[in-house]
Structures are given as structure tokens and as C-alpha cells.
Homo-oligomer: A and B are copies of this chain.
Amino acid sequence: MSTWIRHAWIGPVKLTRLSDIRRKELRQAAFTVLEREGIAGATLEKVAAQAGASKGIVLHYFRNKQELFEHAMREANAVLCHAVVARLQRARTPMERLNAVIEGNFEEHLFLPPLCHAWLSLCAEVPRDEKLARIQKVIHARMRSNLMSGLRGLASPEQADEIVLGVTALIDGLWLRLGLQPGSVTREQAVRQVKDFVAGRLALRQAAPVGLASAG
């Protein structure tokens, strides 16, 4: 976290203003600390140390601790988002778009326990932080939209809605599993699970909508 980043391309946009660069460094440092320490142990001092700076500088760029972690969440989300969008752009058919979303959500260099740990800590604060809640809402809306872009060609609107809920929940659940028991689920397993889920739901499309499910 020294200065190598100063004149580098970070993400899709070149950061010119020094302040922007510093802010990004600090957001990332905050996230890294979150990975290690969780929300309870993530202090301004640790973030500063992680960024190789003083505590004062953190509060120079962010009004307070809350704001810092809100930006950390936005940052992390942007990365995730980018992984999906990149794949989505190469997709041609509806099914390809669907798979793009699924695979993008389990990208190899992102589907990692520490990332999940930090994410989990942020999610746990959502109920008490209006801003975090709004970010979460946006994330879900984008996810839904991405999935819909593929599902519209494959299922009825009502069915698509149902499938979207299932897919998003399943993805989140698999991430959670990675965080709670690293090693109990691989990227390939996760992708397979979600794809099979969709396949199963689409297969049941014309079948009796109750089927086995209502046997109990």
C-alpha cells in the first residue's frame, strides 16, 4: 500500500486527482482490515496502518468511520459488478447471459473466504446503517436486472421473478457457506449448483407446477 499505485490505472478509470487516489487506497485498506478484524475490530488506526498513513489522514478524507466503510462497501461491490459486466458483454444468447451472471458471481480470484468475511461484516451492519442498506438495495436491483436480461428469453415473467429470487438467494447462500466453512464448497461446485438450479426450474416450466413439492 505504498506509492506504486500513484500513477497506475485502477479499474476502468484513471485517477488523476491525488485525493481520489488516496481515497481509493484508504477504501481498500479499510476493506482489508475488515477481512482480518471484522467490523468490531476494524479501527481507524488499523486502517491507517494498513494504508501506511496516520489516523488523521483517514478522517481528512472521510467524515467519519461510517462513511469510510460505506465507501469500502461500494468499492467491493464495484469490483464484483465489473466481473459480471465483463462477462455479460461477451454473451450473445439469453442462456449465455445467464451463465455470464452466474460465473461472474463466482469469479476465481474473488470467490475467496477473506473477501466473504469482510462482506459478511458489512452485511451485518446493514440493518443499522441507512447508506449500507441503500447500497445493498442497488446491488440486488442490478443483480436482478442482469439475471432478467437472460431469463426474459427463457421463461414467463412470473416464473422469471421466482427464479431470480431463488438464484440470488442461492448465490448468497453459497458465498455464506464459503465464509463459514472455507473449503466446503469450490467455485466449480457453486457454479454447478446454480446452473442446475436454473435448469431444474426451467425443466419444470410446463410440468405441473406443484409436483413433488406439494406431496407434504
- Which chain A residues have a beta carbon within 8 Å of chain B's beta carbons? 37-41, 91, 93, 95-96, 98-100, 103, 113, 117, 120-121, 123-128, 133, 136-137, 140, 162, 165-166, 168-174, 176-177, 179-181, 185, 189, 192-193, 195-204, 207, 211-216
Contact = CB atoms under 8 A, between A and B. Distances in A.
11 contacts: A39-B124, A95-B212, A95-B216, A96-B216, A99-B215, A113-B127, A120-B120, A120-B123, A133-B180, A140-B181, A196-B201
Task: Indicate how many identical chains form the complex.
Answer: 2
A181 to B, nearest CB: 7
Contacts of A192: 213
Contacts of A140: 180-181
Contact of A39 (B40, B98, B185): B40
